[in-house]
Structure formats: C-alpha cells, structure tokens
Amino acid sequence: MMTAPLTKEQREALPGDQFAVPGKRKLPMPDERHTRLAWSQLSRTQGLTAEEKVDARRRIIRRAHELGMDTTDWEKISAMRIDAMALVVPDVQDHPNRMPFSGVLTRVGLPSDNAPHGSKGKRVLLTAEAAEAALDSLALMAVDYTPNFDGHDVRAKIGVITGATVEGSDLRIEGFIYAADFPEEAAEIKANKNALGFSFEAQQILVEDLDADPLVITACVFTGAAILLKDKAAYTTTSLAASAENAPAAIEDFPMTKEELEAVLAAALKPVTERLDKVEASHNELGSKIEAGKELHAKVAPHADTLRACAASMQAAGIGVHATRGHVAILNRMADNMEAEAMGGSLPHIYRDHDYNGGMYAGADAKPAGAATPAESPEVAALKAQIGDLTTKLDGIQAAARDTSPEPQRKTLSPQITALMAKASLAAPGDGEKMPVAKLDEALRASSMTVQQRIQLKTEMDRAGLLA
C-alpha cells in the first residue's frame, strides 16, 4: 500500500537526519516510498553543489539500508555517474532574473536520431570518453534559442549553464534563464517545457572516420546549447525542465493551497504583467495620436491636394519650373509640409522654407530708418505686373481644382505588412472598403503575433486608410 504524501506540517516535523540534504531540508526520507523518490529526484533537484549531491547519495543509500531496502541496482548506477563539472552558484531567494532549468543535453554512446546541422546529413555518436573530457568546457557557456524554437542562434543568448554531469547515457546540464531580461521567452519555455529539449553546440570536433554513419566523435569543445523543439533536435529524447527558483523537488512533498499557488504565479508573472501594462499604455497613447492625426489630416488633405494640383497645372504650362526655387517645387513642399504637420498632431499655420523666404523676402525689414525708397526700374515694374497676373491665374486654378481634385489613392501595403496580416488570418479589405478597428483588435488578440507586430500592423493599416 502506498504511503500518503507528506503534509506541510509532517514535513516540518521531520528531524534533519531524515532529509538527504539536511542543511537545506530537501528530499525527505521518512519511509521507503519517499526514500525511493529522493533517489529518483536527486539529479533533478536545483540548488545543490556537486559535494552536496555526493553526500546526499550516501545518505539516501544509508537510509534505504536502515529500512531494509535492496539498493544493489542503485549502487551500480551510482558507480557509473561522473560529477565532472559543477559550479557553485549562490542561492538568491526569489531572484527576479534567474529561472532555473535542467535537463538532458545529449546522449552519450548512442547514435543520434537525426542528423545535426553541420554533419552533412549524417548522424553522430558522442563517445563517453569525449563527453567526460569536454564537460569542463560547458562551464558558463550560454543557452540560446530562435523565436520558433526550431534551431540555433548564438547571438540570442537567454541563459547560462552552471553545471553538467554524465549519468549513464545522459549528459545532463543545469543553469539559469534570464527571466527578467526575457520575460516572454521564459514564460513560453515554462509553458511548453514538455515539448522542448536541447541541442549542443561544439567546435574543434574530431571524428574517427568522415565516411562513417554515424560519425563517431572522439573529441570536442562544447561552446553552448540551444533550447529547441524535441523533434528538431539530433536526439529527440533530450528534455528540459524549468521551474521557479524556490520550487520543491516534488509537488506532492509540498502541497500548496489554491490561494498559495495563485500567489506564487502572480509573483512570477509580475514582471511580465508590468511590461504588458507599459506596452498597453504606450499603445493607447499611440492610438490617440493616430486618431488626432487622422482628424487633422482629413481637414488639411484637400488643401494640400489643391496645392499639388496647382503645381501640376503650372508645370504643364511651363511656369515656375525652377528645380528648387520655382513655384512648382515650392507648392509641392508646402503641401508635404502641411500633411506632415497634421499627421504629427498640429494644425499648420506657418510655412517655413529657407530657399523661399531667403530668396524673396530676405532683408525685408532691414531698411534703415529714413532711408529713401529707390526709384522703381521698368524691369521691376514689369516683374510685379507679371507676378500679379500669375497670382490671378493661380487663384482660378485653385478654385477649379477644389471641385475636380481626385480622391487620394490608397497606399499599397508593403510585403511585410501583408505577411503580418496573413499571420493574423486577415485579408486586406477590397477597394473602397475599410475594416472596423474592433474586428482588427479581436483578430490580433487571437493571433500569435508579438505586441510590436500588432502595433506595426495596426499603424500601417491606418496609414493606408484601411481602418474604419
């Protein structure tokens, strides 16, 4: 008959010599069942040094003998274990930037299930001697990932390896994910840890025979590891376990009430929720600016289009076509400036153009007091008359353009935005149609897109005039 799990009170009442690690009161051993459980959980218990693990194995076997248990198989397995590398990492209670992980990095002495990247389509086999000799090279090497957990990216380092052991045919590692620096990735790793595994990264690799399959690795230097989906790894049976810093070795040994569990989860998710709140506030502020810009742009756009129509008419007539100071160039710059100010949230009132102002009005107020007005030359009088005539024609062109100017054409969406819409399972509205903002928000919430991608898509659709 199985012994019932320990309650919190029973665990606290146990004497220190009934724990495999008495100093940290980890792995209780009050009876046969818990002693056997302590043995099976030892290699996965976080926060233990190599010396503590060795001492814990001796304590568990001694306790098993006291209870009359047969440990022959245990001691054979124990003799095969090699604690070749383990760094002492201080225990920091509730450290916000440390999410412990552990798992099987690779198999030793067994051919891989798949061909790893760089092996030219051949499977690999890491010998026990090569694994043992290379363990020290794993010290403080980084753990990396790709956004879809489907490969290696040595530039995306999200954690560090702090310990490694060879246990039978398993090369196990443990370490920390930088949970505060990468809150979204850490949450995704915890949520999908049963589907994730590891793949090692190595250089200076020596093999027995380049033509063999599998390639037998006789020496290497480990340079890191990647967290990726198990079916993408060379060994599909690698595993990953990720937990909170103060998580117990076995849930049944430390039962929590619903309220306690909710409190733990709330504390773990606090950095994520705070970051999401900031992003949401920024998103709302950006949305308000976009709405304000839309209203001002709608008010200014017809006048900007009129200026462009005037410029086009003058250009067709060969009037004011100087490349920088001509009327055509200035009118187009005025139109662009008006729309830019409106989209930025300001109603345009003043047009500042250095070429325009400097060329026609520089020094207008610089005439000394009492200076005589020079006589107007016939050339100046003729120029003024020409300007007056052009002004009259321009007024007529503007009046006609107000009634005939075409509607602004919808901007073409970039391939990147089209791809984002496809990711959100959205189709671009047809000509003359617009998508309600509420419908877009609903589709974005149901998608797997990041917050930045959602904001980018919404902003670009608004600029293209596709939102109602």
pLDDT of residue 209: 79
**Residues 201, 278 within the same domain:** no
**Residues 96, 225 within the same domain:** yes
**Residues 211, 289 within the same domain:** no
**Which range has the top average pLDDT, 87-91, 351-355, 405-409?**
351-355
Tell me phi and psi for residue 127, to 5 degrees.
-70, 155
Using 50, 70 and 90 to split pLDDT, how confident is the model at 248? very low
Does the predicted model carry a pTM greater than 0.85? no
For the chain, the domain total comes to 4
Structure tokens at 71: 């440990």
Distances (CA, A) of 335 to 161, 174, 179, 305, 400: 59, 62, 49, 7, 17
Q: For the residues 100-111, what does the mean pLDDT come to?
A: 88
In whole angstroms, give the CA distance from residue 440 to residue 421: 10
Percentage of the chain exceeding pLDDT 70: 75
What residues make up the domain containing 426? 410-468
**Residues 237, 118 within the same domain:** yes
pLDDT in tens, 322-357: 888 889 889 888 888 888 888 777 888 888 765 444
Sign of torsion, CA 347 352 353 359? positive
**Residues 99, 166 within the same domain:** yes
Q: Which residues pair with 456 in a beta bridge?
A: none
Of 80, 98, 114, the residue at which a domain comes to its end is 80
* Stronger pLDDT, 392 or 438, i.e. the higher one: 438
**Residues 346, 312 within the same domain:** yes
Domain assignment present for residue 300? The answer is yes
In whole angstroms, give the CA distance from residue 223 to residue 201: 5
Sign of torsion, CA 32 35 36 37? positive
pLDDT in tens, 126-165: 888 888 888 888 888 999 988 888 888 888 899 999 888 8
**Residues 404, 414 within the same domain:** no
Long-range contacts of 431-437 (CB under 8 A, 24+ apart): 434/465, 434/466, 434/467, 434/468, 435/461, 435/466, 435/467, 435/468, 436/467, 436/468, 437/467, 437/468
Domain assignment present for residue 376? The answer is no
**Residues 244, 95 within the same domain:** yes
